[in-house]
Chain A
Amino acid sequence: MENRFHSPYKHWIRGLFSEVVLLSLFVIALALIGVAVVWAR
């Protein structure tokens, strides 16, 4: 079984990059919800 706690740095950097991208997309999604609501009113 892969040891999840001794990942190489490459994995950590990829993981961090994924977090930044996914969280940015989430913020954009929340903003789009807001825009859609304001536009619909």
Chain B
Amino acid sequence: MWVNRTRTDIKAIGHYTGVLVAGIGLLMLLPMVVAVFLGEWAVTLDYLCGVTIAVGAGRLLMLSAPAGTRLSHSNALIVTGIAWLAASLAAAVPLALSGNYGSFLDALFDALSGLTTSGLTLVQDLDHMSLAHNMWRHLTHLIGGQGIVVAALSFAIGLRGGAVSLYQAEGRDERIMPNVMHGARFIWFVTAVWVTLGTIALSTLNIVRGMTVVRGGLHAFFATVATFDTGGFGPMSQNALYYHSPVFEFITLLLMLAGTLNFNLHADIWRGDRGELMSNIEARTLAINMGLLSLAVALGLSATKLFGSSWEVVRKGVYHIVSANSGTGHQTLYASQWATDVGGLAFAAVVLAMAFGGMASSTAGGIKALRVGVIVKGVIQKVRQSLAPPSAVIRTKYHHLTEQTLTDELVSGALLVFVLYVVTYISGGLIGAAYGYPMASALFESVSATANVGLSTGITSPMMPTGLKIVYMLQMWAGRLEFITLFAVIASAGLAFRNKKVRAL
């Protein structure tokens, strides 16, 4: 049955969307402080405008219902869906004023790409962008990676009455802790520890290699946030290639892998249960996946003779497989090399790595290792059933935090999301091809957008057609919310439109 939204529902949706937009506005105070500290006065004004517009619009929306209004699960889905767009609109304001974007749409593309931790970018002259604007671009990864709702919950920003529903609607169906507020804070605690460690390690490296303390420290912070949150933005146009350092690549590899770990796994390991990492179906699936794809990429790259030494083949191959599989999108190759130089096998391995994605309840995107593992187990169970006598009852168990039994419902749920991802990957590829791009490159870019990765063959650029920019934005949004939330927003909008039409007749 389709449920129509009542006026009270719409007011509650407006209120909670307002809370989240106002929260984004308040977070813009951080780059504003950086701009003041660095004496970037024009940039300070950009953020003053951003804060005023976001907090003002958020407060206005909040007036639609009193604080603490109850939010049903279905309304929470709609708030989450709308909030990611509304937050992107707010986050795009200072970027659009920066002078580094051709239009507001381009700034919105980057804001959405940042919040969804995709990392595709339409920025122009990035190498001369102010540090405060770069700070905001990377903070969008940090906010979006943990989840806008999680961010708001952690700082106890007025979500009373809708906390549990919103938390689940954001794609976190597993509770790390019995209390969602504590769960949200744990997520931020783990992130804070890893980001601090990563920033210290990379700052030291940058300073030793000749950067000033401020620049080295900020670059380290940006790189750490972009890797742990599996985002992929970088402060320089050459991305990770700019640093030309195996030590930088090793540290960011660790950060990417830590970022793609399920926060429940972090919780278990941090309480001393290290065995969970070895027995968890998700960890095993991801490890096997990365192992096989590393093998394929090494075979592919060594066949092309692109690199002079075996060391370079392994260094580039492993880096890109982990970057793609974790959904980060940092690259140490030039974008154009994907289509021309790396060869078919390495290209296909990277596309598959992006498509599969990281772990559930992490900052990674894509189909997710848990679903791939469940589907593989489901296939094995079917084969066992077909070979067993008709009277035999076949049960398959797997370990994911606890011992679990595979059910048809679990397998069909995983298959449904798998199919939705594959259809979106292919549809985006076909649309890109319809705009005149080579099919392989268009598919690569489509997978990268939907799985929130950020690797690019060069199609994503300020010069790309407006229609394709909008398609990639929809793909990033749908991929981050894993489709169901998006469908809930579309269905509700469709119902509201139909009812309005009926009333008008």
Report which A residues bind B (CB closer than 8 A).
2, 4-5, 7, 11-12, 14-16, 18-20, 22-24, 26-27, 29-31, 33-35, 37-39, 41
Contacts and interface: CB of A to CB of B under 8 A. Distances in A.
Contacts of A18: 269, 274
Contacts of A34: 294-295, 297-298, 313-314, 317-318
Question: 8 closest pairs, A vs B, by CB?
Answer: A15-B270, A34-B314, A34-B298, A37-B298, A38-B310, A7-B271, A4-B271, A15-B269
B131 interface: no
Interface of chain B: mostly helix, strand, loop or mixed: helix
A23 B318 contact: no
Interface in B318-338: 318, 321-322
B177 interface: yes
B19 to A, nearest CB: 26
Interface of chain A: mostly helix, strand, loop or mixed: helix
Interface in B212-261: 250, 253-254, 257-258, 261
A35 B317 CA distance: 11
A5 B268 contact: no
B254 A23 contact: yes
B193 A33 contact: no
A1 to B, nearest CB: 12
Nearest to A27: B253
Nearest to B278: A22
Contacts of B295: 33-34, 37
B398 interface: no
B302 A4 contact: no
Residue of B273, B277, B318, B321 ringed by the most chain A CB atoms within 10 A: B318
Nearest to B321: A30
Interface of B: 177, 182, 186, 193, 197, 250, 253-254, 257-258, 261, 266-274, 277, 287, 290-291, 294-295, 297-299, 302-303, 310, 313-314, 317-318, 321-322
A34 B307 CA distance: 14
Given A15-B271, A24-B254, A37 B321 contact: no
A26 B294 CA distance: 12
Contacts of A14: 272
Contacts of A20: 254
A27 B250 contact: yes
Given A33-B298, A37-B302, A27 B314 contact: no
A30 B329 CA distance: 18
Given A14-B272, A24-B254, A37-B299, A5 B177 contact: yes
Given A18-B274, A27-B322, 4 more contacts: A22-B277, A24-B254, A31-B314, A39-B310
14 contacts: A4-B267, A7-B270, A15-B269, A15-B270, A15-B272, A27-B318, A30-B290, A30-B291, A30-B294, A31-B318, A33-B294, A34-B314, A34-B317, A34-B318
A19 B258 contact: yes
B271 A11 contact: yes
Contact of B310 (A7, A26, A29, A35): A35
B314 A5 contact: no
Contacts of B294: 30, 33-34
Contacts of B302: 37-38, 41
B288 to A, nearest CB: 11
A19 B314 contact: no
Contact of A19 (B269, B273, B299, B310): B269
A11 B273 CA distance: 10
A19 B266 contact: yes
